[in-house]
């Protein structure tokens, strides 16, 4: 009896297995796998991937990822996006069939990530259900709208004389340690409460420098609207190469939602050097200064993605502030001239002004904005033209007066006026000023109201004017929206004269009380 039951169970199991086997439909998956031939400082030479495509993402087992940049008849050149410590010759390399992409999500705001989307702030990994390629085509010409809205930096000399519009590409260049990053960080901080999402992309920077920038943003409550993308100097050259493209793709995600976005690339000099290193290791023919022939193309491909979209496309904008480091004030070097020709203007920071304590060290004569004037508030136009002219005249007369020649009264007046202009263009870091405050101060100086104010009291008078504007919201709104209405300017002038006289009387009284009897 037991044998019969056992036989019956065996027949049922066999029948079930046969039925399961009949239901299986074989679906073989073809996977192309190659082998590493040689490893050389972040570059992998591999063979066996006959159908691989340019800029395709490949994987080395489960250890590292790479990007295909060179396809030759007998081998392919792959740039590593990770460290090569765990790789060796003979390891397998397999195709993914995908291009390099980065996760995009609204939760990115306030986060610190690397160009691959991996978190660097000890917070949970970001959702990656939506991803965008790091290399994307720039918006078509017919999808773009004119730049007509200002992007306020909070810095007087820039907002008045080198204005930036939303959707513009404005280059920041200067020698080492002249305050380039400080200008960019101040601009990011000033966007608090203006509904602008900022992205700070650090390329090849020291860890200490990046940590300082992040600390500045956190202390000034700017991380609430900022994303930080970091490729440090000790990271692979491939990671530094893709960093600005990944940051731009993240910015385009928010721009597609109708947001205004500001992207700071700090700095493009390191990006060019990383790409030069990659190309030399790939044995591509070097050109001027050993840079590859397509160095102009990779930067124009990046910056042409910055634009202001038409309302039909969402109406968002992407403003780019690339930073370039010059050597010995040589703005005619290869990379600076490339970027100057690509961008819509530049802010030049002079080491001579920096050493004199003129901060921010913006040299007005070499700085220009080819777009922002059209997006500038009308009230700035009342002050900007005369300010630039008087400051330029002062700089020329100052160098002439050093010869010790006798000066006429008109020249002396221009020198006195120019010194006040230069003093008022000074501004501390993290001390952003609203539009109405800047216009009131600059209007006072071009009207000559500061000419009789001692230089030691100029900063005090400026502070009192700012307090006046901040304490009167109606006046601030009128000044900000003022155009060519003379009665508005007359009213403002009368109030400024009252403030300046009061401060000067107070200062004179203090000076008299401090003199010994």
Residue spans of the domains in the chain: they are 33-98, 103-376, 380-514
Whether residue 26 has pLDDT greater than 70: no
Range with the poorest average pLDDT among 54-68, 233-247, 425-439, 497-511: 497-511
Which are the contacts of 363, defined by CB distance < 8 A and separation ≥ 6?
348, 349, 350, 353
Q: Which CATH number fits domain 33-98: 3.40.980.10, 2.40.30.20, 3.40.50.10490, 3.30.460.20?
A: 2.40.30.20
Neighbours of 496 (CB within 10 A): 23
Which of these ranges, 230-239, 361-370, 448-457, 492-501, has the smallest mean pLDDT? 492-501
Q: What is the pLDDT of residues 266-291, one digit of tens each?
A: 989 999 999 999 999 999 999 999 99
Q: Determine contact, residues 249/102, Cβ cutoff 8 Å.
A: yes
The burial of 353, by beta-carbon neighbours within 10 Å (0-12 exposed, 13-18 middle, 19 or more buried), is given as buried
Mention every residue, 6+ apart, whose C-beta is less than 8 A from residue 372. 147, 150, 162, 163, 164, 165, 168, 170, 344, 345
Angular region, 27: left φ>0, alpha ψ -120 to 50, beta rest = beta
Give the largest CA-CA distance in the chain: 132
For tokens 């063979």, name the residue.
47
Output the CA–CA distances (angstroms, integers) from residue 77 to 65, 69, 94, 281, in the order listed: 13, 6, 14, 9
The answer, yes or no, to whether residue 330 has pLDDT greater than 70, is: yes
Among candidate residues 136, 370, 388, 470, the one labeled active-site is 370
Residue 370 annotated as catalytic: yes
Tens digits of residue pLDDT in 117-166: 999 998 998 888 899 999 999 999 999 999 999 999 999 999 999 999 99
Question: What CATH code is assigned to 103-376?
Answer: 3.40.50.300
Mean pLDDT taken over the chain:
88
What is the per-residue pLDDT across 55-70, written as a single tens digit (0 to 9) for each?
Answer: 999 999 777 899 999 9
What is the rounded CA–CA span in Å between residue 167 and residue 327?
A: 29
The CATH code of domain 380-514 reads 1.20.150.20
The CB density around residue 429, as the number of other CB atoms within 10 Å, is 15
To the nearest 10 degrees (0 to 180), the angle between helices 295-303 and 237-256 is 30
Average pLDDT over residues 357-372: 91
pLDDT value of residue 395: 83
Contact (Cβ atoms closer than 8 angstroms) between residue 70 and residue 294:
no
**pLDDT at residue 487 above 60?**
yes
Cis bond leading into 452, ω under 30°?
A: no
* pLDDT tens-digit map of 392-449: 888 888 877 766 667 788 888 888 899 999 999 999 999 999 998 999 899 889 888 8
**CA Rg value for the chain:** 30
Residue 399: Cβ within 10 Å count: 9
Place 475 in a pLDDT band, splitting at 50, 70 and 90. Answer: confident
Residues facing 476 on adjacent strands: none
In angstroms, the CA 451 to CA 454 distance is 8
pLDDT at 182: 96
pLDDT, residue 102, reads 95
Kindly give the interhelix angle for 486-514 and 473-481, rounded to the nearest 10 degrees: 130
pLDDT, position 517: 47
383 pLDDT above the threshold of 70: yes
């Amino acid at each position: 009896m037991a044998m019969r039951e056992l036989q019956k169970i065996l027949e049922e199991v066999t029948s079930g297995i046969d039925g399961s086997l009949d239901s299986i439909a074989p679906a073989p998956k073809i996977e192309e796998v190659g082998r590493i031939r040689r490893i050389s400082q972040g570059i992998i030479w591999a063979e066996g991937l006959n159908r691989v495509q340019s800029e395709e993402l490949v994987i080395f087992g489960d250890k590292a990822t790479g990007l295909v940049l060179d396809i030759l008849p007998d081998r392919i050149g792959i740039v590593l996006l990770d460290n090569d410590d765990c790789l060796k010759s003979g390891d397998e390399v397999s195709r993914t069939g995908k291009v390099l992409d980065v996760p995009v999500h609204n939760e990115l705001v306030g986060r610190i990530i690397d160009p691959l989307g991996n978190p660097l702030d000890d917070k949970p990994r970001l959702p990656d259900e939506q991803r965008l390629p790091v290399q994307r085509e720039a918006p078509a010409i017919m999808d773009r709208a004119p730049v007509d809205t200002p992007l306020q930096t909070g810095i007087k000399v820039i907002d008045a004389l080198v204005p930036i519009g939303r959707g513009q590409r404005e280059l920041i260049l200067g020698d080492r340690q002249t305050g380039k990053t400080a200008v960019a960080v101040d601009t990011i901080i000033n966007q608090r409460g203006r509904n602008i999402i900022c992205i700070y992309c650090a390329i090849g920077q020291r860890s200490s420098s990046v940590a300082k920038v992040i600390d500045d943003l956190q202390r000034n409550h700017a991380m609430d609207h900022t994303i930080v993308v970091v490729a440090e100097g000790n990271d692979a050259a491939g990671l530094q190469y893709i960093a600005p493209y990944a940051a731009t793709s993240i910015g385009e995600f928010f721009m597609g939602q109708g947001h205004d976005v500001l992207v700071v690339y700090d700095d493009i000099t390191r990006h060019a050097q990383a790409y030069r290193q990659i190309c030399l290791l790939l044995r591509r023919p070097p050109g001027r200064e050993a840079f590859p022939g397509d160095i102009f193309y990779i930067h124009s491909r990046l910056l042409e993605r910055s634009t202001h979209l038409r309302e039909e496309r969402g109406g968002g904008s992407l403003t780019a502030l690339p930073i370039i480091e010059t050597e010995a004030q040589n703005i005619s070097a290869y990379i600076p001239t490339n970027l100057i020709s690509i961008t819509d203007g530049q802010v030049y920071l002079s080491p001579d002004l920096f050493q004199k304590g003129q901060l921010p060290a913006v040299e007005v004569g070499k700085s220009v904005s080819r777009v922002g004037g059209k997006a500038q508030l009308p009230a700035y136009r009342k002050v900007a033209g005369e300010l630039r002219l008087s400051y330029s005249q002062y700089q020329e007369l100052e160098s002439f007066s050093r010869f010790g020649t006798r000066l006429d009264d008109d020249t002396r007046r221009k020198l006195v006026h120019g010194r006040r202009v230069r003093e008022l263009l000074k501004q501390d870091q993290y001390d952003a000023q609203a539009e109405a405050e800047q216009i009131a101060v600059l209007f006072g100086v071009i009207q000559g109201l500061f000419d009789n104010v001692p230089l030691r009291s100029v900063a005090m008078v400026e502070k009192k004017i700012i307090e006046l504007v901040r304490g009167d919201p109606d006046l601030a709104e009128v000044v900000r929206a003022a155009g060519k209405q003379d009665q508005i300017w007359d009213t403002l002038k009368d109030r400024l004269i009252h403030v300046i006289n009061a401060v000067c009387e107070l200062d004179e009284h203090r000076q008299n009380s401090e003199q010994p009897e």
